């Protein structure tokens, strides 16, 4: 952990936005999984990536986050290749939260320590973050025995506690109850209002309407349409988008 300690000033000097992907291609056994000519994530707000199963949404997210390498093309964070030292500017919530075998608070503290905060500062910020999310009563519980909704909320608290420039959310609310979905959406919207950029993969079109400032529709590994949320739903530009909105688009 020590090798990763960076001062807040150093971290501020390492912006990651805009995140861009050019000519991204990923294939497996002759099947094209992703084929994206160009994508740029910049500015503010929340982008929701929608599309049927197997459209390449999560793969695109992983490529942009630097977790996977494309077969062809490149990803750039503020014009330069992804680098380990700038991961502290990202947050990510996976579909199934990966939580350390520690208490709820210790999970948040770990993330804060990883981005360079002192032990005391990490403790203070973790308590504050859990308090803001209404999770302070769970602070000393084992993170691994939380309910599905609590786990995802904790994963989001942990991702947001470091005040990232950009947070990737890979179907963070799949199979959660409505109250947990609402809590997570509220947290994302609050962080977005404070200036954090968010990119979220979602299946639920109603959720996309509630959360997104813009929508990216993917199908067969390609970006079919990218538009402001209202435009996407009211004036879809492609037959694919129309079919998807109407619930007629299968993989």
Partner 1 sequence: MQDFAASFFEAFRLVISLDPDLLEVVWLSMRVSLSAVVMAALVGFPVGAFLAVARFPGRGLLVVTISALMGLPPVVVGLVVYMLLSSAGVLGPLQLLYTPTAMIIAQTILVTPIVAALARQTLEDLHDEYRDQLVLYGLGNLAQLKTLLWEGRYSLLTTLLAGFGRAVAEVGAVIIVGGNINHVTRVMTTTIALETSKGNLALALGLGFILVTIAFAVNALVFMSRAAAVRHAYA
Residues found near partner 1 in the complex (CB under 8 A): 1-4, 65-67, 84-88, 90-92, 94, 98, 100-104, 106, 110-111, 114-115, 140-145
Q: CB 146 → partner 1: shortest distance, Å?
A: 10
Distance CA 73, CA 38 (A): 10
Residues with Cβ within 8 Å of 33's Cβ and at least 6 positions away in sequence, in order, are 26, 27, 56, 59, 221
Q: Backbone phi, then psi, for 122, in 5-degree steps?
A: -60, -40
Residue number, 1 or 246, with CB nearest to partner 1: 1
**Closest approach of Cβ 6 to partner 1, in Å?**
9
How near is the Cβ of 105 to partner 1 at its closest, in Å?
A: 9
Which of 103/237 has CB closer to partner 1? 103
Type and span of the H or E element at 211: helix 205-211
Q: Which is nearer to partner 1, 121 or 204 (CB)?
A: 121
Q: How far is the CB of 230 from partner 1 (least distance, A)?
A: 33
Task: Say whether the peptide bond before residue 108 is cis (omega within 30 degrees of 0).
Answer: no
The rounded distance, in Å, linking the Cα atoms of 196 and 250 is 33
């Amino acid at each position: 952990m020590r090798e990763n300690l960076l001062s807040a000033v150093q971290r501020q000097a390492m912006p990651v936005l805009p995140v861009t992907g050019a000519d991204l291609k990923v294939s497996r056994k002759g099947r094209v999984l992703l084929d994206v000519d160009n994508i740029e994530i910049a500015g503010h707000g929340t982008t929701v990536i929608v599309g049927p199963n197997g459209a390449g949404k999560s793969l695109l997210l992983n490529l942009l986050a630097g977790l996977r390498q494309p077969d062809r093309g490149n990803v750039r964070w503020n014009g330069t290749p992804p680098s380990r030292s700038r991961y502290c500017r990202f947050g990510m919530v996976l579909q199934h939260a990966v939580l350390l075998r520690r208490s709820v608070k210790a999970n948040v503290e770990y993330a804060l320590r990883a981005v360079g905060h002192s032990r005391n500062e990490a403790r203070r910020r973790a308590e504050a973050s859990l308090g803001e999310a209404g999770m302070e009563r769970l602070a000393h519980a084992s993170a691994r025995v939380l309910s599905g909704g609590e786990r995802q909320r904790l994963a989001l608290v942990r991702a947001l506690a470091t005040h990232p420039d950009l947070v990737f959310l890979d179907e963070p609310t799949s199979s959660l109850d409505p109250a947990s979905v609402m809590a997570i959406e509220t947290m994302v919207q609050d962080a977005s209002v404070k200036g954090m950029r968010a990119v979220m993969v979602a299946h639920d079109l109603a959720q996309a309407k509630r959360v997104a400032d813009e929508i990216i529709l993917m199908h067969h590994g390609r970006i079919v349409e990218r538009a402001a949320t209202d435009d996407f739903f009211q004036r879809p530009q492609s037959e694919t988008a129309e079919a998807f909105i109407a619930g007629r688009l299968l993989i």
